Amino acid sequence: MFAPDILQGRVAMITGGAGGIGLDIAKTYGRLGARVVLASRNQDRLDHAAAQLSEEGIDVLAVRADVRNYDEVKAAVESAVTHFGALDILVNNAAGNFYCPTAELSPNGWRTVIDIDLNGTFYGCHAAYKHLKQSPFGGCIISIVTMLGLSGWPGAAHAGAAKAGILSLSRTLAVEWGADNIRVNTISPGPIGDTEGVRRLYQETGREELERKKTALGRFGRKTDIANAATYLASDMAAYITGENMIVDGGRWLKYVAA
């Protein structure tokens, strides 16, 4: 549905891009002309994902990086720029989560999720900034959050707090870096049916039907719904959009508030 060259010439780095929603975003960006950089921890998954993209003729670089480590994130950004000559788009997608009532959550479990989601996003933005502000297209940051960050997330206080922090960080950066022509936006997916997260959090716990019914549309989303939103936000079609949180949740948030 997008013009086939809508992202032509851009270089996009996607953290957690070797699987799940991140890989779908990477494939969609690549098919629409971008050169893509995948950054995550597991080398086998990175190699496998990069091979899939290469087979489609997409120019791809896979870089091993743990987003909890600023030096590794910085090195991944520098590798991207050395390899492709620029960085125009950063998608902060990497995340960790596990179900645990807060009273049973260890400080270490709390710290781990905050480290991946919130600190990892800050590290990405910080390391990419000097390159994004040189982008001839205007720099673009998209971070994947969830409306559960705003409503609170019983059973995942760590992830909810981290996502709320990312929303606030993104709005701060949208203002601080607007003069550098960097747009900073977030996407809030609802439950995405074809992901490992939904399988673990909802299907394995017998909550699938309940969670499905919580959406106004009565169904889970697909990875491609999020990739389409991320494409729109990265493209010139969204040139005047910054500091926005695009909710792609089938009306889950609204139904929750209206009920």
Ligand X SMILES: NC(=O)c1ccc[n+]([C@@H]2O[C@H](COP(=O)([O-])OP(=O)(O)OC[C@H]3O[C@@H](n4cnc5c(N)ncnc54)[C@H](OP(=O)(O)O)[C@@H]3O)[C@@H](O)[C@H]2O)c1
**Does residue 93 interact with ligand X by CB under 6 A?**
yes
Taking CB under 6 A as the rule, does residue 68 contact ligand X?
Answer: yes
Please say which residue, 15 or 135, places its beta carbon nearer to ligand X. Answer: 15
Contact indicator for 65, 43 with CB cutoff of 8 Å:
no
**Residue with nearest beta carbon to ligand X:** 20
Which range, of 17-25, 26-34, 98-106, 173-181, touches ligand X by CB under 6 A? 17-25
CA within 13 Å, CB half, 193: 13
Closest CB 4 distance from ligand X, rounded Å: 25
CB of 258 to ligand X, least distance (A): 20
Given candidates 6, 12, 144, 246, which one binds ligand X under the rule CB under 6 A?
144
119 binds ligand X, rule: CB under 6 A: no
Instruction: Note whether 94 binds ligand X by CB under 6 A.
Output: yes
Question: Between 179 and 218, how does the x/- string for binding to ligand X read (CB under 6 A)?
Answer: ----------x-xx--xxxx--------------------
φ, ψ of residue 240 in degrees (nearest 5): -110, 20
Smaller CB distance to ligand X: residue 20 or 250? Answer: 20
State the minimum distance, in angstroms, from the CB of residue 183 to ligand X: 19
Which residues on neighbouring strands pair with residue 80, listed in sequence order?
none
Q: What is the SS3 assignment for 201? A: helix
DSSP code per residue over 61-129: EEEE--TT-HHHHHHHHHHHHHHHS---EEEE---------GGG--HHHHHHHIIIIIIHHHHHHHHHH
**7 or 23: whose CB is closer to ligand X?**
23
What is the separation of C-alpha 92 from the centre of its chain, rounded to a whole number of angstroms?
4
Choice from 76, 116, 156, 234 touching ligand X (CB under 6 A)? 116
Beta bridge partners of 106: none
What's the residue count for the chain?
259
Q: Are 122 and 163 within 8 A, CB to CB?
A: no
Residue 15 binding ligand X, by CB under 6 A:
yes
Piece of 3-11, 20-28, 76-84, 169-177 that binds ligand X (CB under 6 A): 20-28
Give the footprint of ligand X on residues 35-54 (CB under 6 A): 40-42, 45
* Residue 154, token pair as written in the block: 């019983």
Is 162 a residue that touches ligand X (CB under 6 A)?
no
Interatomic CA distance for residues 98 and 104, integer angstroms: 12
Whole-angstrom CA distances from 89 to 16, 45, 106, 210, 259 are 14, 22, 35, 36, 38
Distance CA 41, CA 215 (A): 33
Applying CB under 6 A, the residues found at the interface with ligand X are: 15-16, 18-22, 40-42, 45, 66-68, 93-96, 116, 144, 146, 189, 191-192, 195-198
